[in-house]
Amino acid sequence: MIHEPEAKNVVILMLKMGYTLSDVAQLADDLKKRQSKLPNPMTILRDPTLKKLVASIKDQPPSERAEFGRTVNELKIELTEQARFKEQRLDDKPPIDVSAPFDTGVSAANQPKLLPASEGSLHPVMQELGVMEDIFVRMGFRVERSRLIDDDYHMFESLNFPASHPARDDYDTFMTSEGLILPAHTSTMQHRVLKAQRAGLAHGQPIAAVIPGRVFRNEDLDATHEHTFHQVEGIYVDSGISLGDMMGTIQTFLEAYFNEPIEFKTQPFYFPFVEPGLEFLIKMPTSWQKPGSSQWLEIMGCGMIHPNVLKEAGVNPSKYSGFAWGMGVERLIMLKHGIEDIRYFMSGRLDFLKMFKGEV
Ligand code: FA5
């Protein structure tokens, strides 16, 4: 027996032989409402109503088929993104106790007290990465994970750095005796993401991913340079993508993150894996500006993905184009929260950590 009004609508629509665009809108509402109540929102993609709707694309009159197909496809993408977004929200999940287990022979009275989860807090970088990821998910990007150990192919070769290319020197990092590399940038993930998502391009689904990760460099340390820091890589590929799309995407993200209009500029820069390549800079707060030094802080490298990088990952560069960026996470957090020295992040200073817990 069907009690839910939306479920009744679905049945009525399913009884009809063909669907119209307004039917799709109504079904979309029904599906979204039902998805919001599902324990696993991804299962909505196996819903018979949705399957029937997809199957009905071919039965549409030729003049309406393309628009109908596009609308149904957009609905599928929206349901998928909504499900991923929900999967990535951890707020409503219970905490997991990771305290070391104690000897079972110890009586209850003598067992050490477990620290309640409320005592600790996420590190500021992890908190802010969560905020950044949420914005990108709302913009339609998928979140992928980076690696802490990688190889020469992903660090250099797949990114159009031939062996002995002098630009390899800009990414001086740590290496194991077996030749494995601690990545100096999150661009190591570009090739993998392009390859994993390229099949969707033929079906009108752009490649749209962000990849947060920890990176390592042999650096001279100062207020804006650490040896271990975080980046968020971004990749977007589709047909007809231009540098204007890249600038709009980056600006939209930054204004959502800072919650206010930003003042920025770009300058040309050479990265072997993009052409053209740019550095993206934001105006620093006036209080940070020292006489004689730059008023601008470089927050990311970016550009149009080089055709050789697309080709190497099996994406046809004469059909598709795209952009990529790699933004410095600590530098963005510094600008947002007025932190003058990047070394605070790894200092373990409680007064600094408590600022992000809202205790100072
Ligand atoms: C790169 O790492 C490129 N992979 C970025 C890129 C990706 C370009 C995709 C084009 C396309 P760069 O070395 O400039 O570029 O680093 C990117 C950002 O990481 C910098 O703008 C800065 O915000 C941050 N960064 C770089 N080095 C450090 C450091 N030592 N400490 C803290 N942040 C750093």
Query: What does the pLDDT average to over 338-352?
Result: 92
Q: How far is the CA of 184 from the centre of ligand 1 (A)?
A: 9
Give the residue, by CA position, lying nearest to ligand 1 atom 14. 301
Do 194 and 146 share a structural domain?
Answer: yes
- pLDDT, position 100: 58
Which range is most confident: 43-57, 95-109, 217-231?
Answer: 217-231
- pLDDT, position 90: 55
Candidates 146, 159, 171, 185: which one to mutate for ligand 1, based on the most atoms within 8 Å of Cβ? 185
Query: What does the pLDDT average to over 157-162?
Result: 93
Token look-up 């914005």 returns: 135
Bigger pLDDT: 78 or 192?
A: 192
Give the residue, by CA position, lying nearest to ligand 1 atom 2. 185
Residue 360: pLDDT band with limits 50, 70, 90: very low
Residues 6 or more apart from 292 whose CB is under 8 A from it? none
In a domain, 170, yes or no: yes
> Of 88, 112, 132, which marks where a domain is finished?
88
Do 70 and 143 share a structural domain?
Answer: no
- pLDDT, position 164: 82
Which range is most confident: 18-27, 35-44, 81-90, 264-273?
Answer: 264-273
In a domain, 103, yes or no: no
Do 301 and 157 share a structural domain?
Answer: yes
Q: How far is the CA of 30 from the centre of ligand 1 (A)?
A: 45
Q: For every residue of the chain, which 3-state class applies, written as one string?
A: CCCCHHHHHHHHHHHCCCCCHHHHHHHHHHHHHHHHHCCCHHHHHHCHHHHHHHHHHHHCCHHHHHHHHHHHHHHHHHHHHHHHHHHHCCCCCCCCCCCCCCCCCCCHHHCCCCCCHHHCCCCHHHHHHHHHHHHHHHCCCEECCCCCCECHHHHCHHHCCCCCCHHHHHHCCCECCCCCECCCCHHHHHHHHHHHHHHHHHHCCCEEEEEEEEEECCCCCECCECCEEEEEEEEEEECCCCHHHHHHHHHHHHHHHHCCCCCEEEEECCCCCEEEEEEEEEECCHHHCCCCCCCEEEEEEEEEECHHHHHHCCCCCCCCEEEEEEEEHHHHHHHHHCCCCHHHHHCCCHHHHHHCCCCC
In a domain, 225, yes or no: yes
Rounded CA gap, 242 and 253, in Å? 17
Do 170 and 306 share a structural domain?
Answer: yes
Domain ranges, residue 54 = 5-88
Query: What does the pLDDT average to over 62-90?
Result: 83
- pLDDT, position 14: 41
In a domain, 202, yes or no: yes
Residue 91: pLDDT band with limits 50, 70, 90: low
Residue 344, pLDDT above cutoff 90: yes
Bigger pLDDT: 176 or 88?
A: 176
Q: How far is the CA of 238 from the centre of ligand 1 (A)?
A: 24
Residue 5, pLDDT above cutoff 50: no
In a domain, 47, yes or no: yes
Bigger pLDDT: 280 or 56?
A: 280
- pLDDT, position 4: 47
Give the residue, by CA position, lying nearest to ligand 1 atom 17. 300
Residue 228 sits in a domain of what CATH number?
3.30.930.10
pLDDT digits (tens, 9 = 90+) for 94-142: 666 555 566 667 777 777 676 666 677 889 999 999 999 999 999 999 9
pTM: 0.72
- pLDDT, position 6: 47
Q: How far is the CA of 90 from the centre of ligand 1 (A)?
A: 29
Q: Calculate the average pLDDT of the chain.
A: 87
User: CB atoms < 10 A from the CB of 275, how many?
Assistant: 15
Residue 299: pLDDT band with limits 50, 70, 90: very high
- pLDDT, position 115: 64
Residue 13, pLDDT above cutoff 50: no
| Number of domains the chain is built from | 2
In a domain, 114, yes or no: no
Residue 196: pLDDT band with limits 50, 70, 90: very high
> Which CA distances in Å does 66 have to 14, 25, 99, 266, 291?
21, 16, 56, 39, 60
Do 165 and 18 share a structural domain?
Answer: no
Give the residue, by CA position, lying nearest to ligand 1 atom 30. 225
